[in-house]
């Protein structure tokens, strides 16, 4: 199980509270995790990454084990701590604007 922390607005849209836990098929990468989020919560389609380009939206960030993974390639394997469920994959809205 992969643990995922969503920002408040996306938790509201998805109708969840706290962390969510997701099964990820195959290698655990950013792309696979976002695929799993969108599969479990279709309402989040287009909110984390662009529907057409599939690129991360510019004011969304991915934090992993205390590091910013936003600019890592989408298919880079995530650390074992995330794969084993010891650390969450954090989706966060960037500090920008008011």
Partner 1 sequence: MSGVRLLVGTRKGAFVLSSDGRRTDWKIDGPFFGGWEMYHMKGSPSDPNRIYASQSSGWFGQLIQRSDDGGATWNPVGNDFQYEGVTGTHQSFDGTPHPWEFERVWHLEPSLDDPDTVYAGIEDAALFKSTDGGSTWEELSGLRGHGSGPSWQPGAGGMCLHTIILDPSDAERMFIAISAAGAFRSDDAGKSWRPINRGLRSGQIPEEEAEVGHCVHHVAQHPSRPETLFMQKHWDVMRSDDGGESWYEVSGNLPTDFGFPIDIHAHEPDTIYVVPITSDEQHFPPEGKLRVYRSRSGGNEWEPLTKGLPHSNCYVNILRDAMSVDRLDDCGIYFGTTGGQVYASSDGGDSWNAIVRDLPAVLSVEAQTLP
Please report, as ranges, the residues that interact with partner 1 according to CB under 8 A: 7, 9-10, 13, 43, 45-48, 50-52, 57, 59-60, 93-94, 96-97
The minimum distance between CB 83 and partner 1, in angstroms, equals 26
CB-CB contact of 36 with 86 (8 Å): no
The minimum distance between CB 96 and partner 1, in angstroms, equals 7
* Residue among 19 and 38 whose Cβ is closer to partner 1: 38
| Torsion angle of the four alpha carbons 65, 70, 71, 73, in this order, in degrees rounded to the nearest 10 | 80
DSSP strands (E only) in the chain: 2-5, 20-22, 60-64, 67-68, 89-93
* Residue among 27 and 58 whose Cβ is closer to partner 1: 58
* Residue among 48 and 82 whose Cβ is closer to partner 1: 48
Rg of the chain, C-alpha, whole Å? 12
The minimum distance between CB 95 and partner 1, in angstroms, equals 10
């Amino acid at each position: 199980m992969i643990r995922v922390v969503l920002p408040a607005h996306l938790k509201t849209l998805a109708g969840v509270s706290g962390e969510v836990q997701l099964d990820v098929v195959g290698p655990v990468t950013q792309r696979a995790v976002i695929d799993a989020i969108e599969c479990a919560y279709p309402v989040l389609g287009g909110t984390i990454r662009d529907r057409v380009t599939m690129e991360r939206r510019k004011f969304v960030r991915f934090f992993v084990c205390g590091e910013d993974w936003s600019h890592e390639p989408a298919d880079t394997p995530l650390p074992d701590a995330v794969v084993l469920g010891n650390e969450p994959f954090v989706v966060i809205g960037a500090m920008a604007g008011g």
